[in-house]
Amino acid sequence: MDLERELPGAAMRGEFDLVYQPVLGLHDKRPVGTEALVRWRSPSLGTVLPAELVPVAEDLGLIDELGQWVLHKACRQLAEWSRGGRQLWMSVNVSVTELTGSEFVGRVAAALTIHQVEPDRLLIEIAEPSGEVDIMGVVGQLGRLRALGVRTALDDFGLGPASLAHLRRMPVDILKINRSLVSDPSGWQGQGKPVIDVVVSLGRRLGMEIVAEGLESADQVEQARLAGCRFGQGFVLARPATAERVEAYLEEFP
């Protein structure tokens, strides 16, 4: 496949890029952080999204190289946006394969030092683990990240197959409710609301803050706030954008 032929060397050729999607506090609609989302700008294939890129990188053994590039780029950007005392966090997505690699925690520590980023400004997001992964390995690594002072998030919660069994064991600070729960057309009115209410109260009782993802209307934003989600993300609040555009957006919130 073309992807597999082109991917080796893409990092060296400078073809990876990050876009950033702001996360807002739902009480005051101000940005509290941004999430780094990788893009592969391939001259021959066009823009390749992570859903395609990440599995191929894993198959080819290039996921650590990709992940390292993302981590350093995101930390450098965070340091830049934090100058002048701006309090923002940066989310970086990692796959379970990356997280459970033996070098992962050390690499995060190194990136924080190199870019002079306060550990609690970095948020590592992992997708809800599915059945086959080594849960205790995931739990151990998340605990080590937290011991560094880094914050952790469980991404796409509510989408995976074994949510509740794992949730109580996960050392995470933030629960991100997947947009399938949030943007279901019947979501906030009919059967969706009790599901969201229970997820929010479960997360909060476990000591987590809640991010509602995929907010696409003002009504959803208000419902998420009323349901107890402290933070929100979605196209109606702010779309993923280049560093320059996000920088201009942040400037609007002195």
155 counts as binding Na ion under rule CB under 5 A: yes
The Cα–Cα gap between 26 and 135 comes to: 32
Give, in order, the Cα–Cα distances in Å from 114 to each of 75, 76, 81, 109, 153: 9, 9, 16, 9, 23
- b/e per residue, 8-25, with b = 16+ CB within 10 A? eebbeeebbebbbbbbbe
Closer residue to Mn ion, CB minimum distance, 45 or 216: 216
128 counts as binding Na ion under rule CB under 5 A: no
6 counts as binding Na ion under rule CB under 5 A: no
Assess contact for 81 and 121: CB atoms under 8 A. Answer: no
The Cα–Cα gap between 89 and 76 comes to: 12
**Cβ of residue 98: shortest distance to ligand G, in angstroms?**
6
**Contacts with ligand G in 36-55 (CB under 6 A)?**
37-38, 49-51, 54
128 counts as binding ligand G under rule CB under 6 A: no
Size of the site for Na ion (CB under 5 A): 3
Work out which of 71, 125, 188, 224 binds Mn ion, going by CB under 5 A: 125
Question: Which sign, positive or negative, has the C-alpha torsion 137, 233, 180, 19?
Answer: negative
Q: Which stretch binds ligand G (CB under 6 A): 80-88, 131-139, 165-173, 207-215?
A: 207-215
Closer residue to Mn ion, CB minimum distance, 6 or 156: 156
**Six-digit token pair at 126?**
């992992």
Q: Which stretch binds Na ion (CB under 5 A): 26-34, 53-61, 90-98, 150-158?
A: 150-158
216 counts as binding ligand G under rule CB under 6 A: yes
127 counts as binding ligand G under rule CB under 6 A: yes
The Cα–Cα gap between 93 and 70 comes to: 9
**Contacts with ligand G in 172-201 (CB under 6 A)?**
179
Binding residues vs Na ion (CB under 5 A): 155-156, 213
